[in-house]
Amino acid sequence: MSGTIIADFGRVLAGPYCTMLLADMGATVIKVESPIGDETRAWMPPEHEGKSTYYLSINRNKLSIELDFSDPGDLATARELAARADVVIENFKPGGLEKFGLDYQSVAAQNPDVIFTSITGFGTAGGASLPGYDLLVQAASGLMSLTVAPETEPFRAGVAVVDVFTGMHACIGILAALNHRRVTGEGQRVEVNLMSSALSGLVNQTGAYAIAGVVPTRMGNEHPSIYPYEPIATGDGEIVLAIGNDRQFRVLCRELGTPELVEDPRFAFAPDRSRNRLDLRPLLEAALSHATATEWFERLTAAGIPCAPIQDVAAGVQFAERIGLDPIIQAGSGDDSLSGIRNPITFSQTPATYDKAPPELGADTELVRRWLAGSSPLASISAKEATA
């Protein structure tokens, strides 16, 4: 991604998450913010030194330019930036950029090979007027209907998963479009929306309806198609088992000291275990009650059984550290450095970098203006601009 300049007109989560991933890979991301800044700057608590950890978690490695579109000079700067960028990304309401001359048709007229990426809540047709909030899409898509136990009301997921899905889909679309441009020289518009990303991200659940007309329902921590695949009580708390095939079930029964379960026709094969889970669960709980969750985790893991302890976020990060994933990185250097979570992609030749902490609002406005005026290079100017 080195040499790729991205004009980031996005805000909140889906767009900023996408551009942070690309910035980690070497793209130069110029985050365009209004005078009040990205909304997430004010989303507190939690906070770190008076700054929103929400904002800080998704905006490293970016430059920030403050522009007021009601100001003719600032609007001209925004248009020039879009005309010079390899990628433009935005999540305004459909049609919201037309009055500023920053919509795809206007930008492409000046920058025909641009990759113009639009993120909306419900697309640009019948859902164009609907507000694009993750919670609304979790509700409307059916995701909430699948979350938590059958006897409870629907719940949202504990993180804005639809925004994250959509940010990743936008990232994939941008990379595919850049490759197409490399081959053909053609720019194009890339569109993603939260609703479509949610339906795609529900995978087997929406697939069950599309393929077989089956409407999935809440099953708590259980899986509709395989068993055991849920938390099960031990001598002191629960352990998550994820038994995906008959071989794993045989090994589990061996370790639990219950080999007779393998021969029981109710449990011998995966479909039988799913159908007879109410009979199997108490037998597994009885066997697991003879040791603690930690003891079972160590023993079953050593035997190759997929299982995991149920931990809070701190323990999850610490677990990743113990197994060598090095989840915590430092973005920036010196007094301006900030801890964060590592980019999840590992490259053998072009590793992710974390050169810059999340920017203060408008911190790079003058640098970007000087670059647009041709009097100063950016820290990671693109090859296209360097030879212009």
pLDDT for position 268: 94
Is position 336 within any domain?
Answer: no
Q: End of a domain among 277, 310, 343?
A: 310
Is position 131 within any domain?
Answer: yes
Tens digits of residue pLDDT in 280-298:
999 999 999 999 999 999 9
Is position 380 within any domain?
Answer: yes
State yes or no: is 163 an active-site residue.
yes
pLDDT for position 386: 38
Q: What is the arithmetic mean of pLDDT over 213-242?
A: 94
Asked if 181 and 248 sit in the same domain, the reply is: no
Asked if 33 and 165 sit in the same domain, the reply is: yes
**Annotated catalytic residue: which of 163, 236, 264, 364?**
163
Q: List the CATH number of the domain containing 288.
A: 3.30.1540.10
Computed over every residue of the chain, the mean pLDDT equals 94
Q: List the CATH number of the domain containing 66.
A: 3.40.50.10540
Q: End of a domain among 254, 275, 310?
A: 310
Tens digits of residue pLDDT in 46-62:
999 999 999 999 999 99
Query: Which structural domain, as residue segments, surrounds residue 271?
Result: 229-310
pLDDT class for 381, splitting at 50, 70, 90?
very low
Asked if 92 and 134 sit in the same domain, the reply is: yes
Residue 193: which H helix or E strand, with range?
A: strand 188-193
Count of structural domains within the chain: 2
The one-letter amino acid code at 240 reads V
Residue 383 has pLDDT above 80, yes or no: no
Is position 144 within any domain?
Answer: yes
Q: Taking each helix axis as running N to C, give the angle between helix 293-302 and helix 246-256, from 0 to 180 degrees, rounded to the nearest 10.
A: 130
pTM for this one?
0.91
Q: Which residues of 4-20 are buried (b: 16+ CB within 10 A; e: fewer)?
A: bbbbbbbbbbbbbbbbb
Asked if 249 and 362 sit in the same domain, the reply is: no
Asked if 37 and 167 sit in the same domain, the reply is: yes
CA torsion sign for 357, 69, 193, 117 is negative
Asked if 178 and 247 sit in the same domain, the reply is: no
Asked if 250 and 191 sit in the same domain, the reply is: no
Tens digits of residue pLDDT in 187-216:
999 999 999 999 999 999 999 999 999 999
